[in-house]
Amino acid sequence: MGNDEYKDKIEQARQELNKLALEYGMQDVRVLRQSVKLDALLNEYSDCHTEKDDQLY
């Protein structure tokens, strides 16, 4: 997945998380699930950049 694709997916997940949190509250299971999805995307993005940085050395 390209850099822009990751950023778009992360932004969509973040917006969905905010929407759910406003609608259901921070402790709702739907909010927690979305938070886990966002975390996974952020970790993938970070891992991708770490691998690219490692290849430079």
Residue type, 31: V
Query: 37 with 11: CB under 8 angstroms?
Result: no
What is the pLDDT at residue 57?
52
Mean pLDDT of 20-31: 98
Whether this model's pTM surpasses 0.85: no
C-alpha closest to that of 36 among 5, 6, 13: 13
Segment 27-56, tens digit of pLDDT: 999 999 999 999 999 999 999 877 665 555
What is the pLDDT at residue 34?
98
Whose tokens are 């970790």? That residue is 43
Query: 46 with 54: CB under 8 angstroms?
Result: no
Q: What is the DSSP string of 6-41?
A: HHHHHHHHHHHHHHHHHHH-TTSHHHHHHHHHHHHH
